[in-house]
């Protein structure tokens, strides 16, 4: 009961701080909104990379897909495509209702498209039994290929990118608006994962992580679980991508949408920093990483990439288990890992083996 | 349905130039305990791997309850009820013992919906009672990877029982286990056979253990089936003794 009360206070205060943050710090609206994008990045990466042990370097593909699909749908709903592409930014602004309709429909369709692509890619890569480094390198290729494809496709703006419609004034401040969208998305994702990890799904992907041959030998539908995990990841990444494109306002194929070298790497680092394979780890990792990164930009300008690189090396060397992993190793009893002698059952026989 | 649960017929398996299994034919009747012995490198584990579909066989046929399984994949065969344990014990190290047990529930008839479901309390009860059966109850909330080797071996056996197999292939169940515990383990193997009706097919190097356990023993040497028979006959078979001690 005591822990329940404590959890209630903890969750309550996090919720409260999160709700008022953009009101207290209006100047940081965009950065705060990106904080939740980072949380979603780390949590979605961790489904496949942490809980299931499949290091994916290509999850950013789904982020980009969401971004492009949302922007394209919104564009096609309200504008003449030819005109929009050629006089970017100088077309009429949308009314709030039109903007929202396009945005949400786009995000929804984007999520469906991402899941369909995840299923197809999943059957091709995971269904063929690709594992370990081979899977990692394969997904790395996916990210690069997606960027190149977008780079050459006129319909979505090719190399000159795609400008999203101007944010209508009627919806308030852009940063705050997207802040709440991402915040709600992150909460839904967190709850979904909490529920998934506490049941059969969580144990099955953990089993695949610990020993996939054993999992197969025990009859677990490994391919099915792997593809579904990949799809859940794709679904949420695509949703957040749809919003992020509109927050940034400009979709560049390789720098924003399929930005493997930045977003693609960060999502892995944040999960590792916080502790992959845990629920809170990626959240903590994302918060620390994002704040540190912003501080580097502010106080170490010119050296921010170097500092970030040093931080990355530091994370991998000193926190291979991540913060939550380290905490769990230090105080295993806190996580319920203890010997429990109830006295009723004999334990003498198994004890000495 | 045939009178044998598992029928292996003329199975050949070669790795490059090494013939690991050469025309092996044997059968395991339903509900019995059958042993498989042979010197190191005689092809016992290869035969197990062939049966559970770990690698394709070059020739021959393997039938389980009358159904050809030699072209099926590992998880499919496992879901039919043919389970194996590993010589190098394999458990899910970063999960607790109870979690190891829960995920070992049978996976037959599992749909997309059940993938996301929670485990009913009966599953935990069953997991705990099986852990108690093997003397691991007190350690049920520990990470499986933190258990000693012998305990991991017991856990692996408990996981196999949790899966309710019809045929259990055990690859050296007593190897690495404290000698005083071996008798207890043999006792439990026999009980799982008698009470739960699980057919056991056991590879074992510990001759005393296998003589005590099995009703019928097959002996392999150099990838071929050398002989077979009841334990006391095998024990005194000159061919078997020669194979083990390297006569001729």
Residue B168: phi and psi, rounded to 5, are: -115, 120
Q: How many CB atoms lie within 10 A of CB B141?
A: 17
The tokens of A258 are what?
């399929």
* DSSP assignment string, B180-237: HHHHHHHHHHHHHHHHH--EEEEE-S-HHHHHHH-SEEEEEETTEEEEEE-HHHHHT-
Of B107, B135, B138, the CB nearest to A221: B107
pLDDT of residue A232: 96
**CA B247 to CA A108: how far, in whole Å?**
75
- Residues 59-118 (B) with a CB less than 8 A from some CB of A: 74-75, 78-79, 83-84, 86, 90-96, 99, 102-104, 106-108, 110, 112, 114-118
Taking contacts as CB-CB distances below 8 angstroms, the residues of chain B near A207 are: 92, 95, 103
- Give the chain B residue whose CA is nearest to the CA of A278: B94
- Residues 113-172 (A) with a CB less than 8 A from some CB of B: none
The tokens of A343 are what?
């006295």
Kindly list the distances between the CA atom of residue A330 and the CA atoms of A323, A334, A335, in Å, as whole numbers in the listed order. Answer: 11, 9, 10
CB distance A200–B118 less than 8 Å? yes
* DSSP assignment string, B59-104: EEEEEETTEE-TTS-HHHHHHHTEEE--SS----TTSBHHHHHHTT
A222 touches chain B (CB under 8 A): yes
CB distance A199–B141 less than 8 Å? no
ipTM for the whole predicted complex goes beyond 0.90 = no
Q: How far is A218 from chain B (nearest CA, A)?
A: 6
* DSSP assignment string, A237-306: HHHHHHHHHHHH-EE-IIIIIT-IIIIIHHHHHHHHHH-TTSSHHHHHHHHHHHHHHHHHHHHSTTTHHH
pLDDT of residue A196: 93
The one-digit pLDDT tens for each residue of chain A (353 residues) are 567 788 888 888 888 888 888 888 888 888 899 999 999 999 999 999 999 999 999 899 999 999 999 999 988 887 776 666 665 555 667 788 888 888 999 999 999 999 999 999 999 988 888 888 899 999 999 989 999 998 888 888 877 888 888 888 888 888 899 999 999 999 999 999 999 999 999 999 999 999 999 999 999 999 999 999 999 999 999 999 999 999 998 888 888 889 888 899 899 989 988 888 899 999 999 999 999 888 888 888 888 888 888 887 887 788 788 888 888 888 888 887 777 665 444 444 443 33
A301 touches chain B (CB under 8 A): no
- Give the chain B residue whose CA is nearest to the CA of A204: B103
pLDDT of residue A168: 84
Taking contacts as CB-CB distances below 8 angstroms, the residues of chain A near B116 are: 196, 199-201
Which CATH number goes with the domain that contains B17? 3.40.50.300
Please indicate, yes or no, if residue B84 is contained in any of the structural domains.
Answer: yes
A226 touches chain B (CB under 8 A): no
A213 touches chain B (CB under 8 A): yes
> Which residues of chain B are modeled with pLDDT < 50?
1
Taking contacts as CB-CB distances below 8 angstroms, the residues of chain A near B95 are: 203, 206-207, 210
Please indicate, yes or no, if residue B193 is contained in any of the structural domains.
Answer: yes
Taking contacts as CB-CB distances below 8 angstroms, the residues of chain A near B136 are: 350
Number of domains in chain B: 1
Of A225, A340, A346, the CB nearest to B115: A225
B189 touches chain A (CB under 8 A): no
- Residues 209-248 (B) with a CB less than 8 A from some CB of A: none
A1 touches chain B (CB under 8 A): no
Q: Identify from A205, A218, A342 which residue to disrupt to test chain B contact, counting B C-beta atoms within 10 A and taking the largest count.
A: A218
Please indicate, yes or no, if residue B157 is contained in any of the structural domains.
Answer: no
A50 DSSP 8-state letter:
I
**CA B123 to CA B102: how far, in whole Å?**
7
Of A219, A340, A348, the CB nearest to B163: A219
Taking contacts as CB-CB distances below 8 angstroms, the residues of chain A near B184 are: 349
CA angle, corner A126, sides to A123 and A132, nearest 5? 165
Please indicate, yes or no, if residue B237 is contained in any of the structural domains.
Answer: yes
Chain segment B200-237, per-residue pLDDT in tens: 999 998 888 898 899 999 999 988 998 899 998 988 88
Taking contacts as CB-CB distances below 8 angstroms, the residues of chain B near A221 are: 75, 107, 110, 115
- Give the chain A residue whose CA is nearest to the CA of B182: A353
Please indicate, yes or no, if residue B201 is contained in any of the structural domains.
Answer: yes
Please indicate, yes or no, if residue B236 is contained in any of the structural domains.
Answer: yes
Q: How far is B84 from chain A (nearest CA, A)?
A: 7
A334 touches chain B (CB under 8 A): no
Kindly list the distances between the CA atom of residue B160 and the CA atoms of A4, B80, B165, in Å, as whole numbers in the listed order. Answer: 36, 13, 7
Of A207, A213, A338, the CB nearest to B103: A207
- Give the chain A residue whose CA is nearest to the CA of B130: A345
Range of the domain at B20: 4-92+162-245
Q: How far is B206 from chain A (nearest CA, A)?
A: 17
CB distance A345–B178 less than 8 Å? no
CB distance B95–A201 less than 8 Å? no
């Amino acid at each position: 009961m005591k822990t329940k009360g404590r959890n209630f206070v903890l969750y309550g205060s996090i919720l409260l701080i999160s709700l008022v943050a953009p009101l207290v710090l209006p100047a940081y609206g965009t950065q705060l909104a990106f904080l939740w994008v980072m949380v979603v990045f780390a949590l979605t990466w961790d489904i496949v990379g942490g809980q299931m042990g499949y290091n994916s370097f290509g999850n950013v593909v789904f982020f980009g897909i969401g971004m492009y699909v949302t922007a394209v749908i919104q564009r096609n709903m309200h504008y003449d495509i030819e005109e929009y592409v050629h006089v970017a930014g100088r077309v009429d602004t949308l009314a709030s209702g039109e903007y929202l309709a396009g945005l949400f429909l786009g995000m929804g369709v984007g999520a469906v498209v991402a899941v369909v692509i995840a299923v197809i890619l999943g059957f091709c890569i995971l269904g063929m039994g690709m594992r370990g480094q081979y899977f990692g390198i394969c997904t790395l290729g996916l990210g690069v290929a997606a960027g190149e494809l977008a780079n050459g496709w006129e319909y979505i703006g090719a190399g000159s990118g795609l400008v999203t419609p101007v944010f209508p004034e009627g919806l308030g401040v852009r940063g705050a608006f997207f802040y709440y969208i991402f915040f709600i998305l992150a909460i839904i994702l967190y709850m979904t994962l909490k529920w998934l990890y506490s049941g059969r799904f969580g144990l099955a992907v953990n089993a695949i992580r610990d020993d996939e041959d054993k999992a197969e030998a025990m009859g677990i539908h490994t391919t099915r679980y792997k593809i579904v995990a990949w799809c859940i990841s794709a679904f949420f990444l695509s949703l957040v991508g749809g919003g992020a494109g509109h927050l940034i306002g400009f979709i560049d194929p390789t720098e924003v949408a399929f930005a493997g070298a930045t977003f693609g790497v960060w999502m892995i680092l944040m999960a590792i920093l916080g502790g992959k394979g845990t629920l809170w780890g990626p959240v903590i990792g994302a918060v620390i990483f994002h704040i540190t990164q912003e501080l580097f930009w502010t106080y170490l300008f010119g050296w921010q990439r170097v500092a970030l690189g040093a931080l990355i090396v530091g994370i991998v060397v000193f926190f291979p288990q991540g913060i939550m992993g380290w905490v769990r190793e230090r105080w295993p009893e806190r996580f319920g890992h203890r010997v429990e002698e109830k006295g009723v059952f004999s334990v003498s026989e198994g004890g000495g083996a | 349905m045939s009178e044998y649960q598992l029928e292996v017929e003329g199975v050949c398996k070669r790795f490059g130039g090494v013939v690991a299994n050469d025309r092996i034919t044997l059968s395991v009747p339903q509900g019995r305990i059958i042993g498989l012995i042979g010197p190191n490198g005689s092809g016992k584990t290869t035969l197990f791997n062939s049966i559970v579909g770990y690698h394709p066989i070059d020739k021959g046929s393997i039938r389980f309850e009358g159904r050809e399984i030699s072209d099926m994949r590992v998880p499919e065969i496992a879901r039919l009820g043919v389970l194996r344990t590993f010589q190098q014990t394999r458990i899910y190290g970063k999960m607790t013992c109870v979690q190891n047990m829960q995920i070992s529930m049978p996976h037959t008839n599992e749909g997309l919906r059940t993938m996301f479901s929670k485990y009913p309390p009966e599953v935990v009860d069953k997991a705990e009672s099986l852990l108690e059966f093997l003397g691991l109850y007190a350690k049920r909330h520990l990470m499986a990877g933190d258990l000693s080797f012998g305990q991991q071996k017991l856990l692996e056996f408990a996981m196999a029982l949790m899966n309710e197999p019809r045929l259990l292939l055990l690859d050296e169940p007593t190897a690495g286990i404290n000698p005083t515990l071996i008798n207890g383990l043999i006792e439990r193997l026999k009980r799982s056979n008698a009470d739960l009706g699980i057919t056991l097919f056991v590879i074992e190097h510990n001759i005393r253990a296998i003589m005590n356990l099995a009703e019928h023993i097959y002996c392999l040497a150099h990838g071929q089936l050398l002989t077979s028979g009841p334990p006391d006959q095998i024990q005194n078979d000159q061919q078997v003794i020669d194979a083990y001690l390297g006569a001729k």
